[in-house]
Chains A and B, each alone.
Chain A
Amino acid sequence: MVKMTKRNALIAGTSLTLLAVLAACGNNDNTNNSAQSGDSGSGKKPTISATVYDRGLIAASEGTMEKNRWTKWINENGPTNVKFTAVPRTESKQKLNTLFASGSAPDLIFEFDPNIKNPLYDQKQLMPLDDMINQYSTTYKKLLEDNPALKSAATKSDGKMYEFGKLNEAIPQNVIVIRQDWLDKLKLTTPKTTEELYQVAKAFAEQDPDGNGQKDTYGLNIGPGITDIFGGTGMNNSYVDESGKLVRTWDNFEQYIAFAKQLYDEGIIDKDFITDNNGAKARQDFLNGKTGIYFVQANTNMWNRLWITDYATLKANVPRADLEIVPNPKSPLGQYTVWINNPVQLTAVVNRNAKDPKAIMEYVDFLSTPETGRTLTNGIEGEHWQAGATGCPNPIDQEKNKTELGYLGQDYNMIFSVVSGGKCSFIASSFNPDKPDEKLAKDKFKENMEILYNMIDQGAKFPGLTHVEHLPTVPQDLLVDQQNATTEIGNLTTKAIVSGASYTPEKAITEMQGLWKKYNGEKIDAFYQEWYTANKDTVLMPDDIFQIVKDQKTIQEDILK
């Protein structure tokens, strides 16, 4: 009897396999068919394929990133049928590489990272865009004419445009905030130089500003933007232009190491900062009221996280906490601005094998119109938003929008320029001044912008040669060397900070220079020099970035007044 049962089980198992086989086949066919019939439902529009980031954040009730109310909206209202291919946001390099290598990449590829797109250009996988823009485009063409920077940024070494892009708000990427209540308690003032920064941080760590009788506070955290005070320490970006010649700078490394080393040796920073590679520990310390000066990323939605969510948590933990913004202190090397968001950002390329450039161009034009931009950000008027007092969209039902708009981000209209959308597209318009916490975020935003304007007016320098996204990717044969050099020099920086008095900053710099030489640094420098000589007039340089900041000042002040 027992054996019979086992045999039955086995038969059952085998039939289950068969069933699974059949079921799986059946499923595939069904989904493919339904996807196709869904697309072809809306007439004789041409069909193109495009990527969209998948972040795993879409609710099951909304469908998938390839098929939901917004893809439906795009296909119903746009000039083309778009078949979307989802690219996992965190693995887009892998995914795009396999898609291209196997010849199944979509026509239109949306991707932020230049280090993914530049190799595609080198491998001749991309289609030049000049012809399709000239022949078919209206809206995007006008955008290019009005903003030559967008055209020059998209132009590659062969003189043709290969990327679609957008204009962003030029706003600070990082911010430094200080516990004003601690400053008041210890009768100190906001630090204006790196020396004062050190003094204040030391006082915060040693003079028990939280008054609990224990030495458990940190002066500051080694966080985003701290190296920018000293001019930045990006290996590909540490150059200065001396009458047309690029000179690699090491002083910024040396100054930064000396500064951080002193903080480390005197116990002013968290000794475990090395292992805190995503800043989670630093944020916890800050939220628990243990950190006096907090370096943090604060562009776009990170601004709200700092001033709305995190400030509330900090206040819950330390009710008397009071935060103020610190302008970047002046270092011995001079005054540097904070890092600024890339104002001219390239976000889309076209597959060389795309069949219908006209349809692609029409779709890009469609995405560039203000109406599309507004819908794919705020939703549909009357359903998701209504015009508020300022004339900008105000959400009707936050909860509903969270589900129905939450996954949108800008993932379907990555080429939509802030200038096309008018003032409602600016972040400053998104704050609701009727809510106290959003009003504070708005006021601080205004303050932070004024700090940036003042710095630029006073001739502060940009921390780096230019924005990294406008630098070229070094050729394949030097790429590994550059990556190794960057990693090892980064490690050496950390080593120099934590190794005590015996390992001086000067010694670290000598070793770094040795490493740079070992990893073909001279060849890499020569590559950048060659690129710079050929392109310095067209490429987006700090002066251009500052000019964009100034150009946007009027509209920013109009919204923030």
Chain B
Amino acid sequence: MRESTGDKITRIGISVLLLLISISCLAPVINILSISFSGKQAVESGKVLLWPIDVTLQSYSALFEGTRVLASLWNGVVMTVGGVIISMVFTICAAYPLSKGYFYGRRTFTLMLLFTMVFTGGLIPTYLVVKSLGLIDSYWSIWMPGAVSTYNMLIMRSYFEGIEPEIEEAARIDGCKEMTLLFRIILPLSMPVIATLVLFYGVGYWNNFMNVLIYINSTEKYTITVLIQQMIASQSLLTESLANDTTALALVPEGIKSAGIIVLILPMVLIYPFLQKYFVKGVMLGSVKG
């Protein structure tokens, strides 16, 4: 089939547009990457754009030797992996029953969950609850209160509801009980939504900043996000504050900050390709044949 001229123009137009958008997203990342590998003077004179100048690993060696970046990177991984496992288990446990029409009290439970999307306890009351549960200064204070994101749970519920009832019937005829049905039929069919939510939760935990700051007291448990945020924010502190806090004021050089940002985003960038295949594979698994 030959493409008409109009189609061709549209296709080229869309490609150019998408290319421009991806360049505008990539350029800042490349710029940061180049800065992290460049010499100090070149960075401070603003000469580094998309290619490193006076290539050096100084920024990285300063970052790894002079800060707790490795320890906090590990903390970030522990918090994220732990958090994703907990969140996924609880989200599935909530979404599956709520997707079933025969589940007693389905509407009430859904409404109760929806309520939390609109109203929250507020920072201090939530803190008091977490404190009285004895969770302060452990990652449970991050994991427990936010274990299930209602929004993500609703996405999963809708996906479960979208699975053809015929598949379920067929499984039941073959003698499947509820648990087997969930683990052997529903979940394998739901890899796209699972992959998506793992990514949502993962990014959420990885970038979690405020909660770590507030609930975690020991700096040895700080995650990399908090560490890097402090490095970056110290600059604005310098210019905004007349508070005279200059003797010890952290003048973190641009290069080290950039190296920190790269270390911060790298794990998420590396994980994405592995999850991506489920998006494609999963979509085909879900189709009903014949």
Contact = CB atoms under 8 A, between A and B. Distances in A.
Contacts of A526: none
A64 B219 contact: yes
Contacts of B184: 3, 6-7
Contacts of B229: 90
B230 A56 contact: yes
B67 A57 contact: yes
Given A7-B184, A56-B227, A57-B67, A90 B241 contact: no
Given A56-B230, A60-B70, A90-B234, A410 B247 contact: yes
A58 interface: yes
A279 to B, nearest CB: 6
B244 A104 contact: no
Nearest to B88: A13
A278 to B, nearest CB: 5
A94 B81 CA distance: 27
A60 B86 contact: no
B66 A24 contact: no
A420 B93 CA distance: 64
Given A17-B85, A56-B227, A113-B241, A98 B127 contact: yes
Given A28-B137, A31-B218, A89 B234 contact: yes
A316 interface: yes
Contacts of A94: 210, 213-214
B231 A64 contact: no
Contacts of B137: 28
A283 interface: yes
A342 B244 contact: yes
A89 B230 contact: yes
B127 A89 contact: no
Interface string B122-139: 011001100100001111
A85 B38 CA distance: 36
Interface string A161-190: 000000010000100000000000000000
Residue from B128, B219, B241 having most chain A Cβ neighbours under 10 A: B219
B44 A10 contact: no
B250 interface: yes
Interface in B185-219: 188, 210, 213-214, 217-219
B66 A403 contact: yes
Contacts of B69: 60
Contacts of B247: 300-301, 409-410
A66 interface: yes
B233 interface: yes
Dominant secondary structure of chain B at its interface with chain A:
helix
A313 B244 contact: no
Contacts of A302: 246, 249
A7 B239 contact: no
B44 A104 contact: no
A91 interface: yes
Given A17-B86, A66-B219, A88 B213 contact: yes
Interface string A340-351: 011001000000
A297 interface: yes
B49 interface: no
User: What's the interface size class on A, roughly?
Assistant: 35 or more
Given A16-B85, A95-B213, A341-B244, A57 B252 contact: yes
A392 interface: no
Contact of B45 (A16, A86, A313, A408): A313
A101 interface: yes
A90 B237 contact: yes
Given A24-B138, A56-B231, A64-B68, A287 B85 contact: no
B230 A95 contact: no
A278 B236 contact: yes
Nearest to B250: A55
Interface string A279-299: 111011001100000000101
A64 B68 CA distance: 8
A243 interface: no
A431 to B, nearest CB: 15
Contacts of B219: 54, 64-66, 86
A3 B136 CA distance: 41
A390 interface: no
B218 A64 contact: yes
A6 B188 contact: yes
A58 B218 contact: no
B197 to A, nearest CB: 15
B138 A10 contact: no
B76 to A, nearest CB: 13
A113 B243 contact: yes
Contact of B127 (A16, A17, A58, A102): A102
A417 to B, nearest CB: 13
B45 A288 contact: yes
Contacts of A339: 242
Contacts of A305: 251
Contacts of B86: 17
Contacts of B235: 278, 280
A58 B246 CA distance: 17
Contact of A102 (B131, B228, B234, B239): B131
Nearest to B71: A60
B238 A297 contact: yes
B226 interface: yes
A399 to B, nearest CB: 10
Contacts of B41: 312-313, 316-317
A65 B70 CA distance: 16
B67 A300 contact: no
A64 B72 CA distance: 11
A468 interface: yes
Give the most central of A55, A279, A317, A468: most B CB within 10 Å.
A55
Of all A-B residue pairs in the complex, the 3 with the closest CB atoms, nearest first, are A409-B248, A284-B46, A90-B233
Given A67-B220, A410-B247, A468-B242, 18 more contacts: A17-B86, A55-B250, A56-B230, A57-B67, A59-B65, A59-B68, A63-B220, A64-B68, A89-B245, A90-B234, A94-B210, A98-B124, A113-B241, A287-B44, A300-B249, A302-B249, A341-B244, A469-B243
Interface of A: 3, 6-7, 10, 13-14, 16-17, 20, 24-25, 28, 31, 53-61, 63-67, 85-86, 88-91, 94-95, 98, 101-102, 104, 112-113, 168, 173, 224, 277-281, 283-284, 287-288, 297, 299-302, 305, 310, 312-313, 316-317, 339, 341-342, 345, 402-403, 406, 408-411, 468-469
25 contacts: A3-B184, A17-B86, A31-B218, A53-B248, A54-B230, A55-B250, A56-B67, A56-B228, A56-B250, A58-B67, A59-B65, A60-B71, A64-B68, A88-B213, A88-B230, A89-B234, A94-B213, A95-B213, A113-B243, A224-B239, A288-B47, A302-B246, A406-B66, A411-B248, A469-B243
